[in-house]
Amino acid sequence: MIKKLLCVAVLAFLAAGAAALEPQKAPDCGRQEALKAKNRKILVVYYSLTGNTKKVAEDIAAATGADTEGLTENKKRTGFFGFIGACAAAARGKLTEIGPVKRDPLKYDLVVIGTPIWAHKVTPAVRTYVTEKKGSFKNIAVFATSGGTSPDKAFETIHEITGMDPVASAGFIEKDLKQENERHYQEKLAVFVSELE
Ligand SMILES: Cc1cc2nc3c(=O)[nH]c(=O)nc-3n(C[C@H](O)[C@H](O)[C@H](O)COP(=O)(O)O)c2cc1C
């Protein structure tokens, strides 16, 4: 009898542990259904050199059922000189040549725009996109990823170019995207996604 009781206790303990270790999924909580029910078409447009902004963009899309558009730049941004050139171009507010854009923002109720922070500013690719497409947005939301710098300047630039106030904004730092901060990241993401409704 004691053996049986011990066995049940051990199994219950293991089950609780397994539940706690279960990986966090992208936040959904019925939001995708809620956004669909409202018939809101959402597009997430982003530029990403090393993958952080792409990850956040794809998580937002997964949680909202949005379409995505990854911007490409016809300029080499890798290596030491690529890095310096990228910083200089962002700092000076330069435009750049971006690859063909496939999705028409006019067809969407909301366009979520994501940029990495370069030299405390918006990236040239995203600056170019919003400059070329201003007037084609019904509503915008903005997010950025950075090593720690506040995204405020980048958001201000997007506001100045488009003349629009975003319905939501969020800054994610690289630390947020690390496995050990998964819970914190998912919470932050869920708040941003809820503001898109
Ligand atoms: C050219 C360049 C300039 C950067 N400048 C900054 C900066 O001023 N402040 C900061 O916190 N992070 C800076 N970073 C780090 C990026 O903002 C951060 O790694 C971001 O998450 C990268 O996004 P991605 O992986 O989508 O390209 C810079 C990175 C690059 C490549």
Q: What is the pLDDT of residues 119-146, one digit of tens each?
A: 999 999 999 999 999 999 999 999 999 9
Say yes or no: domain 30-194 is CATH 3.40.50.360.
yes
pLDDT in tens, 63-117: 999 999 999 999 999 999 999 999 999 999 999 999 999 999 999 999 999 999 9
Q: What is the DSSP letter of 99?
A: P
User: What does the domain layout of the chain look like in residue ranges?
Assistant: 30-194
Q: Is residue 116 lining ligand 1, measured as CB closer than 6 Å?
A: yes
**Which residues on adjacent β-strands are paired with residue 114?**
46, 143
Q: Is residue 114 lining ligand 1, measured as CB closer than 6 Å?
A: no
Q: Which residues of 131-158 are buried (b: 16+ CB within 10 A; e: fewer)?
A: eebeeebebbbbbbbbeebebeebbebb
pLDDT of residue 24 exceeding 70: no
Q: Ligand 1 centroid to 48 CA: how many Å? A: 10
Q: Is residue 129 lining ligand 1, measured as CB closer than 6 Å?
A: no
Q: Would you state the pLDDT for residue 197?
A: 81
Q: Ligand 1 centroid to 196 CA: how many Å? A: 25
Query: Which of 146, 153, 131, 154 has the alpha carbon at shortest distance from 176?
Result: 146
Using DSSP bridges, classify how beta strands 42-47 and 169-173 pair: parallel, antiparallel or unpaired.
unpaired
Residue 8's pLDDT band (cuts 50, 70, 90)? very low
CA 98 – CA 68 distance, rounded (Å) = 16
Q: Is residue 78 lining ligand 1, measured as CB closer than 6 Å?
A: no
Overall average pLDDT of the 141-162 stretch: 98
pLDDT in tens, 26-68: 445 456 666 655 678 999 999 999 999 999 999 999 999 999 9
For residue 169, the one-letter residue type is: S
Q: Is residue 52 lining ligand 1, measured as CB closer than 6 Å?
A: yes
Look at ligand 1, atom 16, and give the residue with the nearest C-alpha: 146
pTM of the model: 0.85
Residue that wins the pLDDT comparison between 10 and 81: 81
Q: Ligand 1 centroid to 50 CA: how many Å? A: 9
